[in-house]
Amino acid sequence: MSVGLSQRLVPDGLWELVAPLLPKFTSRPQGGGTAPVDERAAFTAVVYVLTSGCAWWHLPETFGVSPATAHRRFTLWTEAGVWRRLHRAVQDELGARGEVDWTAAIVDAASVRAKKRAR
């Protein structure tokens, strides 16, 4: 994968926020299995799929991660709550830098009338 694309998708500042949030790889006690992959490459591949709309099985080989591995990591990270914690970490970082203007925040709420005896 070109370094330019990798840096655009996951710049160093974002990676510094993400890396501590990712679950650590644990090898199987009985041995065997697949070798661990570079976490940043896996994260970059996942970000590519999520932002491009590319299907998992069409993930370009240049990412250095198989489509199956990228999807497994996405699933693992989703179950571990990584995306929610990353969202919070980005908000905290931007807030600490004074780059969040909450005066322009919009709250969206909807109310729907409950119908009697609706089934």
User: pLDDT, tens digit, for every residue of 73-94?
Assistant: 999 999 999 999 999 999 999 8
Between 35 and 60, name the one with better pLDDT: 60
pTM for the model: 0.77
Which sequence spans correspond to the domains of the chain?
3-101
3-state helix, strand, coil in the chain (%, to 5): 55, 0, 45
